[in-house]
Structure 1
Amino acid sequence: MAHIYETSTMLKKLLIANRGEIAVRVIRTAKALGYRTVAVYSEADAQAMHTELADEAVCIGPAQVAASYLNADAILDAARKTGADCIHPGYGFLSENAGFANACKDAGIVFVGPPASAIELMGSKRRSKIAMQKAGVPVVPGYEGDNAGDDELIAAAADIGYPLMIKASAGGGGRGMRLVNDKSELADSIKRARSESKQAFGDDELILEKAVIEPRHVEIQVFADRHGNAVYLGERDCSVQRRHQKVVEEAPSPFVTPELRAAMGDAAVKAALACNYEGAGTVEFLVDKDRNFYFLEMNTRLQVEHPVTELITGQDLVAWQLTVAEGLPLPLAQNDIELNGHAIEVRLYAEDPSNGFTPQTGPLHIFQPAEAEGLRFDTGVRSGDEVTPHYDPMLAKVIAWGENRNEARRRLIRALEDTTVFGVTTNRYFLSRIIADSSFGAGEATTAFLQQAFSEDPSLQPAKPQIRQLALAACVLAHGANGQEAWSNAPATNTPMKLDIGDEIVELLVQSSGNSLSCRLGDEQHAMVISSIQDGILCTIDNGIRQRCQYHRDGDSLYLQAFGESWSVTDLTHQPAAGANGAGSGRIQASMDGAIIDVLVEAGQTVRQGETLVILEAMKMEHPVKADGDGIIAQVLASKGDQVKRQQLLVEISRTTE
């Protein structure tokens, strides 16, 4: 095989054209293989984890994505300045940009990914579907003709039948996609899908497909090299989705039989060979209840969920990518690839599931991933970092491996419960509830699972601390500032406390004597014994059970975690009274960094509790900022177009005394 090695080139320095956890993950493998590494970063990411982990780092522009991480010229200039001979695009940003792949080639820099021709072909749902039909890959019946005007689509829909899907040809992630159940919805849905596709992708071309109702979303990991070799490395089940965005990914699929795996794998390899593919790719399929499968799309890059494949195959897919990029053959033949055990991945986000999954911004006071057998955390953040509104608010991918699926589930639930995140609200409880769900456990989850089984789940409702949790907060607030010697010998006291627990203010009576504490809220009372409190750990004996509670204080804000749950309170005990109506402080602050896109009130105006005062835009979403009580606007401190920081004062309300 000497002739193969004659076509290979030893690469030495890798630039990673990405940020966050994927940049960190690529850098670690590259370093292990002996590569020098170069990070690129925006001004907002100057202190980010990936910039510090790389050997060299180059600033490529301001925080805005279009001016930095999508700035191909700046990235190529960084490669030239540092002498990088190859670029790994990660996922997102420029990873599926054929123009960028060609620009790398023109600059004499190896693009660690497929050829531009494959990216371009698979980036079009219409053209890729036609190519797959020619290659003998099963596709969903539909319309993908050259003439895709409104009249042609309406005529084709009559032949396809309902329900059907409208899809943006250049789309992904659910954008430009509409489910149409009836002819009466079609014309308006086409109009809206075109508009959304044009805005998101700069292309309003659409296709139609027969809707596969409540399918499984199963994808096959493929790899190909320039010597004509192509293999598949098992499948991943990504059926648990919210608004067409993947929430849980696992390998292997609990629904796929060995026979179906072989058939889908064969089809995926055909898809790769049909477009002269090189490197890592993912062929996505819809699988109906009878295990018929249909080509959905091919992602011409490394996927977010690639760790589950790595854990069940024992292979490093980034290392495979670099091997292929050097011109070497694939590390393994198809018969050498074995699947071992089960792996499940979830995406831990800074978002509030009880408020429409609104992205959260702010400081990460504490970020401490759980550590245990079979766990893997892919992350690009650390304690002390800031979650900004400029980028996707994913904190980490949490992955658990087990000898079997239940072991992986159990480990993942424990990992979510034991991971500490103080400072921003996360979707952790929502994720653990999914993994623990009996329908998910039985392998019954389809793409309709969350909508059908989780629309009323407790993890989607606002939660407030119960008396037991408030008693733990009272322990920290009453004694956390003092040493153990000081409070264990303290005389008995009765201390009133006023706490803001998110949606209301509660008043507690805290009775303490030595190391015993009792907390009363109305008719409820809870008592416990304090064993120790230091270094962010509170140990108590509650009903004869010794337990640990983690905590962190930031001014009047207190964050706590115990029993697999987390909660926070704000101590208002020593703050001035809010007003006669018992509402909030009247000091309306920004909940996150962002831009003011509208101001709806002016000084002297009377407002009611819950009325929208200001609209804040952050992370491409609009967030209404509302009055926390009745009153009169004393002053408005923000104007339309302002860029504001988290907790910046926007409006002050003076309370009425009526």
Structure 2
Amino acid sequence: MKKLVIANRGEIARRIFRAAKQRNYSVAVISTEEDSDSLVCKEADCILFVSSFLNATEIVNAAKKWGADLLHPGYGFLSENSKFAEQVELAGIAFVGPTPQNMYAMGSKESAKNMAKKCGVPTLNALLSEDLSKLSPSEWQNELKHRNIFSPFLVKASGGGGGRGMRIVDDVLELPNAIKRASEEAKAAFNDGTVFIERYLTAPRHIEIQVFGDGKGGGVFFGERECSLQRRHQKVMEEAPSTHVNKELREKMGRASLSLVKETKYRGAGTLEFLLDENSNFYFLEMNTRLQVEHPVTENAYQIDLVHAQFDLAEGVWPEQFPNPNEFHLLDPKQVSIEARILAEDPRNQFLPTPGRIKLYIEPESSGVRVDSGIIEGARINSNYDSMISKLIVTAPNRALAIEKMSAALENYVILGCTTNLPFLQNIVRHPDFLVGNESTHWIAKELDLLNQKIIPNCLIELVTSKKFRELLVNILNGEIKQSKINNAFSNQAKCLPNLKGLSAEKEFSDFKIIREPENNKFYLLGNSIDSLLSSIKEVKNSYSFNLKKLIFNSNYTKQNRIPFYAKRLNSEVIQINFFGEYLNIKCPFYELSIVNKNHTGSGEICAPMAGKVIEVLIKEGQLVEAGQVLFIVESMKMQLEVKASGNGKVTNVLVEQGKILSGTDIMAMIALD
């Protein structure tokens, strides 16, 4: 029995764990004490505790002491660190991934650019870290002009990925601060603060090529992935194949990618990232010398298993299901696959992270639907790591069916306890631009207001937020109204409801009922009011977003329309409801609490935007500040956020210091506002 160590956590650790168990490996996972309650720690044969997922020496020593034969780094953390890979192999443990030499050559975006130029692959002009260190900031502007790099600029971390350590800069004078922030963020995420500046394309497509090398110069590629749907350089959804890449372009990009595989004698799975301009010219960006978050869409489109293939190669065998690596193969995708990243963040509140405990968790189940998850109900979303909960992947014979599957799966994905991006994703997959594949890396930013609209009609929201609905729901949740009494209890009480307006015609709703499934958090909303509400909905402004009538459950026995929903009390004040993936947080009518203005406009209180860690304190007591001035830098889920002053004033108290752990909306400072 081979012994494998997984030096990662969350979704990818569980994905690797499943494949390892299918091969009858004994599996240990690396973990920190504060992450020891994670699901993969409960599943593994052994837990190897270290102080940090970035402490290479501790990880290698723990793996060696346990007697590991293999170590899989997953993605993120040390997965692209050549020194770590070298330490692993020097300890006599097989590194499931590229060689240290591969990583050194291609794991750094800067060295990868140089290698691409050597192979004749087009690249974007850049001012590399070596250039930045030789020149003073006052000389950067002339050098950028000399290299035909004009505003806007992209400051980019040389190592890592996931959008961390990246900043778009319009004014050359802002570059020093952007470089400082990007470097700090990259250092925290990947233990490598190296950054550089390159030309920034304003609205390109982001296309990836999946390769797999034999370590001797041979290799194969499995088409492309469309990764253009991004926010702050972080991918939101991916699909394979791309709607914009034809067979001729696929072959050109594949041959360019394999030229780098050959030059570097690349070993195992890797991804080459390209930008595609409006004329279908492609430019090499970087190579990710590891698995990608989005690798499942390639697996499903080409019916392969990249993790098992990695294990095969680590055991000295070329994967049996792969073509001959010494010949060029232009493979056709067999299906269309789309992936959505389910994240603990609030798109309607500047995408702030929403760490916390999952109170209710139900994954969608259907043919062609796959969920790669790192959690179960009751699990904790840890503020010290990234915000990913799971990956939802759908696969179908064509793109239209795949989109239909994704839309239905998102509607049936229930997560209560923290806010997620589920409604945001639903608005994406129903948008006319997405339906025809009209997208770019800037599309989400352009359509953000529309993508953040509620996905259920206003008349339903008004009904659910009414006092009578809230009272009835709370009584059911508290067990004060028994199931047997529900059908008789509502008709008279519900007459107290205010008049509710439908979207097309005024209707007075006088009767509704709430029925709860036995021993479950699933409910049904039904009655005459619901029938009237449905008849009033003729057209929704963003009608592509939601078809309420289509989703209503109609009972043949009662001939009544039923709107299903899920509900869970988050605390004594708030109940969270999920209607087809849309979140509504409603206040318990029996709990009175003074409302604090979270923006603190005029209050003089500066509060943390979320749980996290204070990275930098930029003010001191007695200092005068202006509206919009950055006061603190806070890190949460590996992202740095700026806390700014809401108005002009004088700092009277600074209540936190660098390194302080924030539990939530802690008061960080007091300002006497002008």
**Alignment TM class, shorter chain as reference:** 0.7 to 0.9
Q: Does 1:42 align with 2:32?
A: yes
Which shows bigger deviation, 590-599 or 266-275? 590-599
Task: Say which SS state the counterpart of residue 95 (structure 1) adopts.
Answer: coil
The residue number in structure 2 matching 1:92 is 76
The residue number in structure 2 matching 1:519 is 497
**What letter matches 1:226 in structure 2?**
G
1:16-35 aligned at under 5 Å gives the runs 16-35=6-25
**What letter matches 2:403 in structure 1?**
R
**Could you give the per-residue CA deviations for residues 194-217 of structure 1, whole angstroms, max 9, x where no partner exists?**
4245433455563544x4342111
The residue number in structure 2 matching 1:508 is none
Count residues in correspondence: 592
Q: Does 1:192 align with 2:177?
A: yes
Q: Does 1:254 align with 2:243?
A: yes
**Could you give the per-residue CA deviations for residues 535-576 of structure 1, whole angstroms, max 9, x where no partner exists?**
222223221522222112244331212244221212142437
Distance 2:194 2:631 in 1: 36
1:203-282 aligned at under 5 Å gives the runs 203-204=193-194, 206-209=196-199, 211-282=200-271
Instruction: Identify if the C-alpha distance between structure 1 residues 527 and 71 changes in structure 2 by more than 3 Å, giving closer, same or farther.
Output: farther
Task: Say which SS state the counterpart of residue 307 (structure 2) adopts.
Answer: helix
Distance 2:74 2:309 in 1: 14
1:114 to 98, 110, 119: 98
User: C-alpha displacement at 1:377, in angstroms?
Assistant: 0.9
1:534-553 aligned at under 5 Å gives the runs 534=517, 535-541=520-526, 542-543=530-531, 544-553=560-569
Task: Say which SS state the counterpart of residue 346 (structure 1) adopts.
Answer: strand
The residue number in structure 1 matching 2:108 is 124
TM-score, length-scaled by structure 2: 0.79
**Could you give the per-residue CA deviations for residues 115-170 of structure 1, whole angstroms, max 9, x where no partner exists?**
11111111333332222122122223456696454437623523515346444462
The residue number in structure 1 matching 2:473 is 476
- Contact kept? 2:155, 2:179, Cα under 8 Å: no
The residue number in structure 2 matching 1:485 is 484
User: C-alpha displacement at 1:641, in angstroms?
Assistant: 6.4
The residue number in structure 1 matching 2:158 is 170
The residue number in structure 2 matching 1:349 is 343
User: C-alpha displacement at 1:441, in angstroms?
Assistant: 1.3
- Contact kept? 1:388, 1:593, Cα under 8 Å: no
**Could you give the per-residue CA deviations for residues 349-394 of structure 1, whole angstroms, max 9, x where no partner exists?**
1111111100012111012111112111111111111122111111
Q: Does 1:52 align with 2:42?
A: yes
The residue number in structure 2 matching 1:4 is none
The residue number in structure 1 matching 2:430 is 436
Task: Say which SS state the counterpart of residue 262 (structure 2) adopts.
Answer: helix
**Could you give the per-residue CA deviations for residues 161-182 of structure 1, whole angstroms, max 9, x where no partner exists?**
534644446244445555566x
- Contact kept? 1:363, 1:385, Cα under 8 Å: yes
Distance 2:640 2:144 in 1: 35
- The percent of aligned pairs where both chains have the same amino acid is 34
Q: Which runs of 5+ in 2 are unaligned?
A: 502-506, 532-559, 622-629, 647-652
Instruction: Identify if the C-alpha distance between structure 1 residues 460 and 450 changes in structure 2 by more than 3 Å, giving closer, same or farther.
Output: farther
Q: Does 1:532 align with 2:515?
A: yes
**Could you give the per-residue CA deviations for residues 249-281 of structure 1, whole angstroms, max 9, x where no partner exists?**
110000000111111111111111111110100
**Could you give the per-residue CA deviations for residues 436-458 of structure 1, whole angstroms, max 9, x where no partner exists?**
11112111101121122334543
Task: Say which SS state the counterpart of residue 122 (structure 2) adopts.
Answer: coil
**What letter matches 1:54 in structure 2?**
A
**What letter matches 2:288 in structure 1?**
N
**What letter matches 1:250 in structure 2?**
E
1:443-462 aligned at under 5 Å gives the runs 443-459=437-453
Instruction: Identify if the C-alpha distance between structure 1 residues 489 and 241 changes in structure 2 by more than 3 Å, giving closer, same or farther.
Output: closer
Distance 2:226 2:451 in 1: 23
Q: Does 1:325 align with 2:314?
A: yes
Instruction: Identify if the C-alpha distance between structure 1 residues 36 and 517 changes in structure 2 by more than 3 Å, giving closer, same or farther.
Output: farther
Instruction: Identify if the C-alpha distance between structure 1 residues 540 and 231 changes in structure 2 by more than 3 Å, giving closer, same or farther.
Output: same
Q: Does 1:76 align with 2:74?
A: no
Instruction: Identify if the C-alpha distance between structure 1 residues 461 and 514 changes in structure 2 by more than 3 Å, giving closer, same or farther.
Output: closer
Instruction: Identify if the C-alpha distance between structure 1 residues 251 and 529 changes in structure 2 by more than 3 Å, giving closer, same or farther.
Output: same
The residue number in structure 1 matching 2:550 is none
**Could you give the per-residue CA deviations for residues 294-350 of structure 1, whole angstroms, max 9, x where no partner exists?**
111111000010000011111110001111111212431164954112111111111
Distance 1:190 1:641 in 2: 24
Distance 1:459 1:576 in 2: 28
Higher strand content, 1 or 2 = 1
Distance 1:637 1:163 in 2: 37
Task: Say which SS state the counterpart of residue 62 (structure 2) adopts.
Answer: helix
2:357 to 349, 353, 363: 363
Q: Does 1:104 align with 2:92?
A: no
Distance 1:279 1:90 in 2: 13
Q: Does 1:412 align with 2:406?
A: yes
Task: Say which SS state the counterpart of residue 39 (structure 1) adopts.
Answer: strand
- Contact kept? 2:347, 2:452, Cα under 8 Å: no
Distance 1:578 1:189 in 2: 39
Alpha-carbon RMSD across the aligned residues, in angstroms, is 3.8
- Contact kept? 2:243, 2:437, Cα under 8 Å: yes
- Contact kept? 1:255, 1:443, Cα under 8 Å: yes
Distance 1:276 1:99 in 2: 18
- Contact kept? 1:614, 1:626, Cα under 8 Å: no
**Could you give the per-residue CA deviations for residues 492-534 of structure 1, whole angstroms, max 9, x where no partner exists?**
xxxxxxxxxxxxxxxxxxxx44796753379996444326324
- Contact kept? 1:590, 1:625, Cα under 8 Å: no
**Could you give the per-residue CA deviations for residues 86-127 of structure 1, whole angstroms, max 9, x where no partner exists?**
100000001000010110111011111111111111133333
- Contact kept? 2:473, 2:514, Cα under 8 Å: no
Distance 2:632 2:210 in 1: 46
TM-score, length-scaled by structure 1: 0.80
**What letter matches 2:62 in structure 1?**
A
Instruction: Identify if the C-alpha distance between structure 1 residues 327 and 479 changes in structure 2 by more than 3 Å, giving closer, same or farther.
Output: closer
Instruction: Identify if the C-alpha distance between structure 1 residues 38 and 166 changes in structure 2 by more than 3 Å, giving closer, same or farther.
Output: same
**Could you give the per-residue CA deviations for residues 400-457 of structure 1, whole angstroms, max 9, x where no partner exists?**
1111111111111211121111110111111111111111211110112112233454
2:583 to 566, 582, 595: 566
- Contact kept? 1:361, 1:646, Cα under 8 Å: no
2:461 to 442, 452, 466: 466
Distance 1:121 1:613 in 2: 40
